[in-house]
Amino acid sequence: MVEVYLHDNKDTPENFTDAHNSGESVSLEELSKIGVIYRYIDSEDKLNELAKERDYKNRDQVSLNLGSFNDDIEAFNNKMAQFYKEHYHEDEEIRYIVSGEGYFDVRDQGDKWIRTKLVANDLLILPAGIYHRFTLTSAKRDVKAVRLFKDEPKWEAINRDTGRLSSARENYVKTVAV
């Protein structure tokens, strides 16, 4: 089952896959206030229902572990660093965890990191324009996930450090303004 809490902000390039639990829990209701939707999905039928409900027409499945990089630790570490760089997308990001585990970090309205640990049967929907990042857990370093798409997959990550603000980001900020 999902764990959600404030990140302790003590991550480094060497330990960002550790839990970094500040001890301060975050409720699913608080997540929903920033547009993040969590669901527990325990069957393919329920996943298909959600896909139909949200008009997701395409999907694929990805495996992320050292083996998926032909045991090339440098390539694996480079990809992990890329996923952990703070960014947003112009489309929703939807992940359903089939096996393994990983962390999605999202920014709250006060710009704090909220860490969400996902395991098998957890599904997370991130709204277009939300700053986020992803990593595997240090305990497993393995995840198999289904990615859902409304149309053809578009995966341009717009890194925060570029300062680029698209209409997706501007619209997201308006939806969560306090």
In order, the DSSP letters of 9-61 are S---TTTTTS--EEEEE--HHHHHHTT-EEEE--SHHHHHHHHHHTT--EEEE
CA 33, distance to chain mean position in Å, is: 16
Radius of gyration of the chain (CA): 16
The secondary structure of residue 102, as a DSSP letter, is: E
Distance in angstroms (rounded) separating the CA atoms of residues 81 and 13: 8
CB 125 within 8 A of CB 145: no
Q: Is 3 annotated as a binding residue?
A: no
Q: Residue 72 is which amino acid?
A: D
93 is in an annotated binding site: yes
Torsion of CA 175, 166, 90, 142, to 10 degrees: -100
Extract the annotated binding site for Ni(2+). Answer: 87, 89, 93, 132
Extract the annotated binding site for Fe(2+). Answer: 87, 89, 93, 132
Extract the annotated binding site. Answer: 87, 89, 93, 132
